[in-house]
Amino acid sequence: MGDILVTRSSMPEFAEYVEEIKDIWDSRWLTNMGKKHCELEKQLERYLKVDHVSLFANGHMALELLLQAMGLTGEVITTPFTFASTTHAIVRNGLKPVFCDINPDTYTIDATKIESLITERTSAILPVHVYGNLCDVEAIEEIARRHHLKVIYDAAHTFGVEYQGRGVAAFGDASMFSFHATKVFHTIEGGAVCFNGDADGLKEDLYGLKNFGIRDEVTVDAVGANSKMNEFQAAMGLCNLRHLDREIEKRGRVVARYRERLLGVPGLKLSAPQDKVKPNYAYFPVLFDPSVFYADRDAISEKLKKEHIFTRKYFYPITNSFACYRDRYSVEDTPVALDVSRKVLTLPLYADLSLEDVDRICDLILER
């Protein structure tokens, strides 16, 4: 049997991609916001039910430049239970992350603990939707409104998710998506900033910042970066978007089988489906409680690896424990995040994972 990786990229048929990129050869317009780039932005605005989409070379630069464009200062309340990119984007903007603990059921920021962390230096809240689970967007919006704070969502895990019929990109002042090859929707590498309205000229500012801060042929009015999505990435996105709903449906069948086999097993905790949420089945996290289950997370990971089945300890370690932030933060300030990080294991999940392989994975987990 071949390796079963924790994820595998969905891709269109080779002939479909070749057909999509044919006119790139004719135009020789390979980057700098060409035809494919602009078309993908329009299609994503429709799919995500949002006014504006600004594409980037990757999700990290989308977030970092979004924070720059919003002109934030001081402190940003966020979560340590996330990928390194979230925290790094804050710090690289000269801002101070203030870490809030997480909800033990959704693994998203605990909205009940945000308000106690707000100071006169707080300028924004940067929550993270985790594994496809949505943050408590209503509570966060209410807190932000009362304290006049910006809300920027790291929505890397929630492409295509909807809450009460609204696309997840519609919440907060803006949302960042990652289109990395491992995501539900990908453009090989890539990312986007999405938002409604544009009272502050955010779209124009983002356009300039991803192109060196160039405003026009003779004006450079910001210290920008080079973070443009090229035409080949955009072409992959156009192809993948055509098949996305079907791919999510296939992922849903995999998740259903995992839940059938593992739900209710003593010592295993699965994420419960969220009320009024249309899911995207991005990840399948399982928490292993070694005081009840026969083995801990690390032992199960090694057991599966010996059978060429690869899982991921995601997110571990939490970002406020990173060596680059040593002596600046204490993981004891976020005990729930610390505990979850030591117990969580994301199991293999992708559209073409067979139910037979899911059963094999579950059999190995459950056998003593």
The tens digit of pLDDT for each residue in 129-168 reads: 999 999 999 999 999 999 999 999 999 999 999 999 999 9
Residue 199 pLDDT > 80: no
Q: Over the Cα atoms of the chain, what is R_g? A: 21
pLDDT digits (tens, 9 = 90+) for 287-303: 999 999 999 999 999 99
Task: Domain 244-366: give its CATH architecture.
Answer: Alpha-Beta Complex (3.90)
Q: Cα angle at 141 between 201 and 86, to 5 degrees?
A: 70
Question: Would you give the end-to-end CA distance of the chain in angstroms?
Answer: 22
* CATH of segment(s) 14-100+108-238: 3.40.640.10
Q: What is residue 109's DSSP assignment? A: B
CB 186 within 8 A of CB 180: yes
Whole-number percent of the chain with pLDDT over 70: 99
Q: Where are the domains of the chain?
A: 14-100+108-238, 244-366
User: Sorting pLDDT into bands at 50, 70 and 90, what band is 1?
Assistant: low
Q: Please give the pLDDT value at position 2.
A: 87
**Average pLDDT in the 273-280 region?**
98
User: Sorting pLDDT into bands at 50, 70 and 90, what band is 198?
Assistant: confident
Of 209, 207, 244, whose CA–CA distance to 223 is shortest? 209
> Which residues on neighbouring strands pair with residue 347, listed in sequence order?
284
pLDDT digits (tens, 9 = 90+) for 305-354: 999 999 999 999 999 999 999 889 999 999 999 999 999 999 999 999 99
